[in-house]
Every structure is written in C-alpha cells, then in structure tokens.
C-alpha cells in the first residue's frame, strides 16, 4: 500500500468547513462565467482569461465533473441545460462541504439568498460585512430625517451590530482595498466626523472610501465584536483586487497597504488583545508576513481561500508552505472564497485537498511531521479549527429531502463512504450493445484498480448478442488484453443496492493510452473533430422504449408474458406499474439524470421514458445508467424489463429514438436564425442532417446492430423503414421536430428513429457525428421532405441482409 495512503484517505474523506464564501447567482445572472476563473473585470480583460493556466486547468476539471467535453462551450451548454440546483448539488457533493460561512455583503446580480444555500449544505452561517452595513445605514437616511451626525450614525451602527450578533458568526472588513490596513484605532471624533461628511458629500448610493471614517467604523465594530466574542475576517494581500463589479476596489491604490504588517496598530492596542482576527487570502503575496504575525500574536489566524485555486499549482503549494513555516497548524483555516458560481466552490475544495496533501507529504518526507501529525493537521485545517474558532456545530439542519433526491448520488471520486460499501462494478458496453461488468471488492478497487484497471481479453468487445464469443472476422480474439480503467467521475452508489458502487470503464492498452476500439474514446475522438473543425458540439436526448414482462406458470412451465395489454398512454397501465416507474425515476434523479416524460406505449406491456437533452458524451453515459436502472428496479419488483427491438413478432417493437441538435458557444445553431431557409433549419443544421441521411444505411450497423433490430424496422409501424426524411413525419427514419416552446416552423432538432436498445450508444452517436461531419465538409443538401400519409411514402426501403445494412428499392 502507498506509504501515504492514510494521509491521502484523510484528505479525501474530511468534510470541510468553508469559512469564507459568497452567494451563488442565478444561471441568467449578468455575472460573466469567466469571472469564475479570474479576478479580471470588463470584456477586454476577461477576453484574456481563457489563455491563463488557471482557466485551462479549472475548465478541464469542471468538464470532468460534468462529463462534458473539455471546452468552454460544452461546459456552458451543460450549465444552461441543467437546473442551478443540480449544478450546485453536483459541485457541493464533490467538494464535500459540511459548513458554509457566507459574506452576503458582496452585491451580485440575481444572487441567491443565504437561506437558499441551506438546501445543499447541512450548516450555513452568515458573516457580516461591516462597511456594507454602514453604507446601508447611511443610504437609509437619518432616523430623525435630518443630516447625519457622527453620534447618530454611531448609535445606529452599534445598535445594528448588536442586534445581529446572534445571527452571525463573525464580522468582516474590506478596509484593505478601500484605504489600506494601516488602521488608526485612535482616530479622533473630529477626524471621523469630517470623514463622514466627506462620504456623504460624494452622493448616493453611499460608498465609504474616506480613511478616517473607515478606521472609525472598523474600531467600532471591533469593540462590539469583543463584547460578543465574535471574530473579524480581514481582507489582506493582492488577490482581492478586481471583481464582478467595476466599483469594487481601486486599481490606483498602493498595494503595499494591503500588507498585514500594517495591522500593528490594532495588534499592539491592549484594548484589542483578546480580539480574534482572520487574515484572508493567505495575505498573498505577503504570506511570510502573515505567517509571522500568526506566530507571535495569539489573536491572529490565517485563511488561505482564493490563493487556491487562482494561482498556479506551484504558486498554491508555495503559499501554503510559507503560511505553515511559522504559524501553528491550529491557526490555519480553509475556505474556497467561492463566489457566484458553484464551480468556484468545487475547484477551491478540490485544489485545496491536493495542495495540502502535497505540503504535508513533503513535511513528512523531510521529517518535520509524522504521518499521524499530518493526519491531525488535515482535520484541524479543513474542519476543526474553524468549528472551534467560529463556535459552530455541523449538521444543525438536515439537507432538504428534495435536494437529497438528486444530490445523494452525484458523481465524485470521494463517493458516499462508509464501511458498508463492499463491491464496485466497472461497466462497459460491447459492440452488440450488451452491458457487462467486472466486480471487485472496494478495498482492491481503491488500492489497485482505480489506477491500473482490470484486465479484459480483446475479444470482450467482439462478443455477439447470441454467443459469448467473438464474431468471425473481427480480428479480436482471446489473444491480447486491454485494461478497463474506471472513469472516477462516473462513480455512483447504486440506488437499488446501497452496498455497491458502479462506475463506467474506459479501455486502455496501458493506463493512459486509449485503445482504438474503446467505444467511449471513439465518441470523444469524433466529438473533438466536430469541435476542432467547425466549433460545434452535438447534443443528444434518448427516448427509451422497453417491455415489462411478468412470470406465470402455464401447463407447469415457467413463461414470461407482457405485464398488461393496455393501450397507448393508458392511465390504468401507468397506475399498475407506478411503484416501479416511481422508483426508477427517483433512482435516476439521484444519478443526476433528468427524466422529461414517461408513458405507456402501444405494445403490450410497453413503456417509454424520455431523458433530458445534454451533450452527446454525457447523453450516452446517462443512457447506460438508465438501462441498468430500469432493468434492476424491475427485477427487484419481480418483473423483467427488456429493450429487445422486437420481443414479439406480432406486436409493436421497442426503439431508442435519439434527438440530435448542434450548438456553438452554447447556442443551438441547428435552428434557422434570421437566414433564408426552406426547411426551418440553419445551413449548418441542414448540411449535418444531409450527411446523416446520406450515410444512414451505414449508420444502421451501429444504431440497429442485431438481426432482431430489423424485425422492428417495418413499414406502418413508425419505425423508419424508408430512406427519407420528413417534417414531423413519424414514419420517416429522420424526423425534424418543432417541440413546444419553439417558434412555429422553426426546427430545433431532428429525431433518428432507426436506433434501438441493443445499440452501443457511444458507437451509435459516433457514427452520427462522422456522417454529419461528411455533410458539413461537402456542404450536402437535403432532398425534398416526404409529406402526406405513410401509404404514400416513396424512396428506398431500409432492409437487412445477414448482419449488414443494404438498400432495396421499394
């Protein structure tokens, strides 16, 4: 076992106290998403952010969390297509935050109230920004309606601080970027009053910038804090300059004034010797000075939020090491300084774990600490110091049940832990669409398999639907082996088997070297081509049709028959299977998979479940987990679920129709937008779809991969038996759609009906992208759409010859 396994486990499993953060904003807030990665302001400055080390690293980590391509458009599209609650729950679960202290004095467009955050974190508390409180009081006007006097302001300000003392766990000052940290605790009344008039004279809304008045406000707040034994957080260092608001900070300020050594007036003032002060942001670049202050002044504590993750990895390690050079590990606290975006909280926590592990590991190697010392430091830095310092109790409020519904199983390397977890399933999908798994004990998974995978014979990708052996002519046999490497960002606790976890696997020749036959890698590879050549992302949404079968005894023989014989969209059919469908839906929610619609289908015992629309790589993962869930939950209820395309030759078949669209920079570009168009779609959309239509017979090899697939694709069954396309024509294999909410006549996506539940979703979507790419490269155009009743359809009939698709004239 790795020498530092105990330390690594402590780092991964500690539930952190985020001791300094700000409100999250709505998805449609005016705060630019690039602000998540930088302190830059303004369009011109933000335009350089994508070229920074922090951005490139952070974007990659966010895309891995969300299961999207590593591109800003893909991540932004995922954010737009997901609820803010889902995004926040995803990030907070991955961050493993147990407590959140929020400074809500930072004005942000469409920010959520503090109470909203309680849905995601067991314990949320408020930090009161004193300068903002003073500004609000002055903006409200004097109680007497006359001009403010210093006495009147002081009375109101102190009264408000005292009244809020029971509602907050600390105060906070931003004096550093208003007038600097050289705070005069003995500022005279005359100086303060003159400062007040100077502030009021600048107009409304009030912004306090006068140094004397700021020093006065700080001193008053410090006196009240002492009375109520409340700490004060103090912005220090360079990293605080810049913001989401142009009025935040002063770029002309002498940054040397943010050096915490300027706090000596406060630290040497005997009146405040029992105060408790937190220096935020690791005081970067003044980390050595901060470490010194914490080592010689008992009232000084340190917080390294924002230095992580905004610096380079080397810079993060360097700043944390410098903090710990002199300061006690009992005086160093963690925070994300997360603001506006849930991703900021995730990135801050993730990088903090990595950095602190590196720093403590190096200290152990150097002999400065023992492993036990380092493990104790982990608990102190990430949780215990803040709990004691701010006098908070974790998990005072339970997370709300509606949030737990989708938060309890969100993907993260640090999944739901505990001694109860026994086994981990590593899942892959072979070429015939069968979902298979290898299962390993949890300990071996984390000790060996997580990094090195499990061995698989190359033949495993060539198994047929009928025989557990490789198909002839595949060149894949029992000779040769690949590694099935778990994709840790797809690891979940299994909702129907809580003692197990499941994770999707990638196929590698050696760890880190993808195998060319890996289906997930194939989809990623062609998705990259589409993005690199045309700056496009393909999105997909699957409709799952399946048949539920019950077991009966007939003439002393066991037989599986359809669950019922109710008609299409029957309410009684839905009632009969409601317990199953409810558990399936709840399980999928816990896996962060959106179910948009479900109903009884036209076949006996047949049902359909439509999944949410997302980037194609994520859509394929979601489909694999959905099939697993439906089958497992049905089996739990004594029912068999089958996705076989044609279970009964005399009944309706089951498809896995897929809806396709294209996006560029997060915007749907399949739709026509102001351009002259014949079919309601853009030129890009038409060329892509024309490529799919042209190559449809070849695509069938991947979307309808077994002989039984073609028993389903028959005329007059809405399964797409003819080589054509149509507008809202369900008999055509390609159907353009104008769903509710889309302007009449405008096409938002197209549906491919010749896809079924035996398709490997990665290979199916990859074949669609390749065909669409050819259409874009050759600027192909669609023929006229087929209109009218299905009896008047003309064109080519799609048929099957052996296991290869062919065209027969109808």
pLDDT tops 80 at residue 401 = no
Return the pLDDT at 592.
86
Please tell me the distance from the alpha carbon of residue 685 to that of residue 667, in angstroms, as a whole number. Answer: 13
Find, among 221, 260, 225, the residue nearest to 240 by Cα. Answer: 260
Q: 140-177 pLDDT, tens per residue?
A: 887 777 889 999 999 999 999 999 999 999 999 999 88
pLDDT tops 50 at residue 417 = no
Q: Is 251 exposed, middle or buried (0-12, 13-18, 19+ CB in 10 A)?
A: exposed
pLDDT tops 50 at residue 806 = no
pLDDT tops 90 at residue 703 = yes
pLDDT category at 787 given cuts 50, 70, 90 is: confident
Return the pLDDT at 307.
58
Q: 595-620 pLDDT, tens per residue?
A: 999 988 988 989 999 999 899 999 99
Alpha-helical runs (H) found in 559-615: 571-590
Return the pLDDT at 730.
86
Return the pLDDT at 408.
43
Q: 95-120 pLDDT, tens per residue?
A: 999 999 999 998 888 999 999 999 99
φ/ψ (deg, to 5) at 175: -55, -30
Stronger pLDDT, 762 or 556, i.e. the higher one = 762
Give the residue-averaged pLDDT of 445-454.
Answer: 90
Please tell me the distance from the alpha carbon of residue 280 to that of residue 234, in angstroms, as a whole number. Answer: 6
Bridge partners for 600 per DSSP: 607
φ/ψ (deg, to 5) at 764: -60, -50
Return the pLDDT at 317.
87
pLDDT tops 70 at residue 804 = no
| Contacts with 442 (C-beta within 8 Å, 6 or more apart), sequence order | 421, 422, 423, 424, 501
Neighbours of 241 (CB within 10 A): 18
Return the pLDDT at 399.
45
Q: Containing H/E element for 9?
A: helix 5-13
pLDDT category at 17 given cuts 50, 70, 90 is: very high
CA Rg, the chain, in Å?
Answer: 31
Give the residue-averaged pLDDT of 302-325.
Answer: 80
Alpha-helical runs (H) found in 30-149: 43-46, 53-66, 72-81, 84-95, 114-117, 130-140
Angle ∠(293,298,302) on CA atoms, nearest 5 = 55
Q: How far is CA 263 from the centre of its chain?
A: 40
CB 623 within 8 A of CB 615: no
As a whole number, the mean pLDDT across the chain is 86
pLDDT category at 675 given cuts 50, 70, 90 is: low
Q: 647-671 pLDDT, tens per residue?
A: 998 899 999 999 999 998 778 899 8
Q: 288-312 pLDDT, tens per residue?
A: 999 999 999 999 999 988 655 667 7
pLDDT category at 440 given cuts 50, 70, 90 is: very high
List the structure tokens of 516. 């060319």
Q: In the chain, what percentage of residues exceed pLDDT 90?
A: 57
Bridge partners for 677 per DSSP: none
Span of 22-36, 357-371, 673-687 with lowest mean pLDDT: 673-687
pLDDT tops 70 at residue 326 = yes
pLDDT category at 397 given cuts 50, 70, 90 is: very low
- Buried b / exposed e over 712-748, threshold 16 CB at 10 Å, is bbbeebbbbbbbbbbbebebbbbbbebeeeeeeebbb
Return the pLDDT at 676.
59
Alpha-helical runs (H) found in 666-757: 683-694, 696-703, 709-712
Find, among 624, 621, 622, 632, the residue nearest to 580 by Cα. Answer: 632
- In the chain, what's the furthest Cα-to-Cα distance? 103
Span of 293-297, 529-533, 560-564, 699-703 with lowest mean pLDDT: 560-564
pLDDT category at 789 given cuts 50, 70, 90 is: very low
Return the pLDDT at 796.
56
pLDDT category at 238 given cuts 50, 70, 90 is: low
């Amino acid at each position: 076992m790795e020498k530092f396994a105990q330390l690594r486990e402590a780092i991964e499993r500690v539930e952190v106290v985020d001791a300094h953060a700000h409100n999250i904003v709505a998805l449609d807030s005016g705060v630019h998403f690039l602000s998540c990665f930088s302190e830059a302001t303004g369009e011109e400055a933000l335009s350089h952010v994508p070229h920074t080390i922090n951005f490139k690293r952070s974007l990659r980590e966010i895309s891995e969390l969300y299961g999207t391509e590593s591109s800003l458009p893909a991540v932004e599209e995922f954010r737009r297509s997901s609820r803010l609650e889902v995004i926040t729950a995803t990030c907070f679960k991955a961050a493993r935050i147990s407590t959140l202290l929020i400074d809500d004095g930072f004005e942000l467009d469409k920010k959520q109230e503090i109470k909203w955050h309680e849905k995601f974190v067991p314990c949320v508390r408020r930090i009161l920004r004193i300068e903002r409180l003073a500004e609000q009081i002055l903006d409200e006007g004097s109680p007497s309606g006359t001009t403010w006097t210093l006495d009147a302001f002081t009375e109101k300000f102190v009264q408000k601080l005292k009244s809020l003392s029971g509602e907050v766990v600390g105060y906070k000052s931003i004096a550093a970027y208003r007038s600097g940290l050289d705070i005069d605790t003995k500022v005279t009344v005359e100086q303060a009053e003159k400062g007040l008039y100077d502030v009021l004279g600048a107009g409304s809304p009030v912004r306090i910038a006068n140094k004397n008045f700021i020093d006065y406000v700080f001193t008053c707040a410090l006196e009240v804090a002492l009375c109520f034994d409340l700490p004060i957080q103090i912005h220090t260092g360079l990293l605080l300059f810049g913001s989401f608001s142009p009025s935040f900070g002063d770029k002309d300020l002498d940054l040397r004034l943010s050096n915490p050594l300027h706090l000596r007036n406060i630290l040497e003032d005997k009146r405040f010797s029992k105060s408790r002060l937190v220096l935020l942001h690791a005081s970067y670049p003044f980390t050595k000075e901060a470490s010194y202050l914490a080592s010689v002044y008992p009232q000084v504590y340190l917080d390294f939020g924002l230095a992580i993750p905004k610096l380079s990895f080397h810079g993060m390690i360097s700043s944390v090491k410098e903090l710990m050079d002199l300061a006690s590990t009992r005086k160093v606290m963690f925070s994300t300084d997360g603001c506006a975006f849930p991703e900021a909280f995730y990135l801050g926590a993730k990088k903090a774990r990595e950095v602190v592990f590196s720093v403590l590991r190096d200290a152990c190697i150097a002999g400065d600490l023992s492993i036990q010392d380092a493990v104790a430091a982990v608990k102190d830095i990430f949780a215990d110091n803040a709990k004691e310092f701010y006098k908070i109790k974790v998990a005072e409020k339970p997370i709300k049940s509606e949030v737990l519904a989708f938060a309890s199983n969100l993907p993260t390397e640090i999944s739901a832990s505990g001694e109860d977890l026994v086994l981990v399933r590593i899942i892959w999908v072979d070429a015939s669409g069968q979902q298979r798994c290898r299962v390993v004990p949890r300990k071996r998974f984390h000790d060996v398999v997580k990094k090195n995978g499990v061995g698989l014979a190359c033949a495993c990708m060539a198994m047929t639907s009928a025989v557990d052996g490789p198909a002839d002519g595949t060149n894949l046999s029992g000779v040769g082996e690949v590694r099935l490497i778990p994709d840790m960002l797809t690891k979940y606790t299994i909702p129907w088997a809580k003692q197990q976890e499941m994770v999707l696997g990638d196929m590698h020749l050696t760890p880190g070297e993808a195998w060319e036959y890996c289906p997930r890698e194939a989809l990623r590879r062609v998705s990259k081509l589409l993005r690199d050549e045309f700056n496009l992302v393909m999105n997909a949404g699957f409709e799952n049709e399946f048949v539920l079968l019950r077991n009966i005894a007939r003439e002393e023989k066991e037989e599986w028959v359809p669950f019922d014989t109710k008609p299409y969209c029957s309410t009684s059919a839905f009632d009969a299977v409601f317990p199953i469908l409810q558990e399936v839906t709840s399980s999928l929610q816990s896996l962060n998979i959106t179910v948009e619609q479900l109903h009884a289908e036209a076949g006996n015992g047949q049902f359909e479940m439509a999944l949410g629309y997302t980037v194609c790589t994520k859509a394929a993962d979601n489909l694999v987990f959905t099939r697993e869930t439906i089958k497992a939950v049905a089996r739990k209820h004594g029912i068999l679920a089958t996705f076989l395309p044609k279970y009964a030759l005399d009944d309706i078949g089951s498809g896995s129709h897929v809806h396709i669209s294209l996006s560029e920079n997060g915007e749907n570009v399949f739709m026509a937008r102001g351009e002259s168009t014949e079919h309601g779609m853009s030129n890009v959309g038409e060329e892509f779809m024309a490529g799919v239509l042209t190559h449809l017979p070849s695509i069938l090899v991947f979307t309808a991969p077994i002989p039984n697939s073609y028993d389903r694709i028959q005329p007059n069954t809405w399964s797409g038996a003819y080589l054509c396309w149509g507008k809202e024509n369900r008999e055509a294999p390609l159907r353009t759609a104008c769903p509710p909410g889309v302007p009449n006549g405008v096409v938002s996506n197209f549906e491919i009906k010749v896809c079924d539940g035996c398709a490997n979703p990665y290979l199916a979507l990859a074949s669609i992208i390749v065909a669409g790419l050819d259409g874009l490269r050759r600027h192909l155009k669609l023929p006229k759409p087929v209109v009218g009743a299905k009896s008047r359809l003309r064109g080519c009939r799609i048929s099957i010859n052996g296991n290869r698709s062919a065209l027969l004239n109808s």
